[in-house]
């Protein structure tokens, strides 16, 4: 049981921790452990039930920031293209190799937000079936998103 959430501001305004906390309270369950990161123009986080291992992470690789709720089942196949130490690095390298088409080569269930700081882009990527649904809204130069299916 886990969830991801965040706010990205495209006008350069810093997001206050209270804004992220308010979003988190709207999507989380009671007694969840949460982890957040605040940066210049984004605030992201994830939460998980304390009795279970989290499959969520905030992962930084080169110029990418990934916020991921991720389960990859074909890691051995991906190792034929590049080496990696964990599934988050595998996703980051797949994104760098194939761009947004990386989902075509990943067998798994996932909801991933990729913040590409070099190209000033944000991508929301989820598995083809939607096992990890990702809801979003764009208003007033802000992208607000969350994945809340508590399964």
Query: Over the stretch 127-139, which tens digit does the pLDDT of each residue have?
Result: 988 888 889 999 9
CA distance 66 to 110: 12
Predicted local confidence at residue 130, as pLDDT: 80
CA distance 24 to 2: 12
Q: Is the pTM of this model over 0.75?
A: yes
| In the predicted structure, residue 51 carries a pLDDT above the cut 80 | no
b/e per residue 91-110 (b: at least 16 CB within 10 A): bbbbbbeeeeebbeebebbb
The owner of tokens 């990702």 is: 134
Per cent of the chain over pLDDT 90 is: 64
The CATH homologous superfamily to which domain 2-147 belongs is Aminohydrolase, N-terminal nucleophile (Ntn) domain (3.60.20.10)
Each residue's pLDDT tens digit, 54-88:
789 999 999 999 999 999 999 999 999 999 999 99
- Domain spans in the chain, listed from the N-terminal domain onward: 2-147
């Amino acid at each position: 049981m886990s969830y991801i959430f965040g706010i990205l501001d495209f006008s350069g305004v810093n997001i206050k921790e209270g804004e992220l906390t308010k979003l988190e309270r709207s999507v989380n369950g009671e007694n969840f452990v949460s982890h957040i990161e605040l940066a210049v123009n984004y605030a992201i986080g994830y939460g998980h039930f304390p009795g279970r291992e989290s499959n969520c992470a905030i992962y930084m690789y080169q110029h990418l920031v990934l916020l991921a709720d991720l389960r990859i089942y074909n890691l051995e196949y991906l190792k034929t293209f590049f080496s990696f130490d964990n599934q988050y690095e595998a996703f980051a390298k797949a994104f760098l190799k194939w761009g947004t088409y990386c989902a075509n080569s990943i067998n798994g269930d996932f909801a991933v937000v990729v913040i590409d700081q070099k190209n000033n882009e944000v991508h929301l990527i989820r598995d083809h079936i939607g096992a990890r649904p990702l809801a979003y809204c764009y208003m007033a130069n802000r992208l607000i998103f969350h994945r809340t299916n508590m399964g």
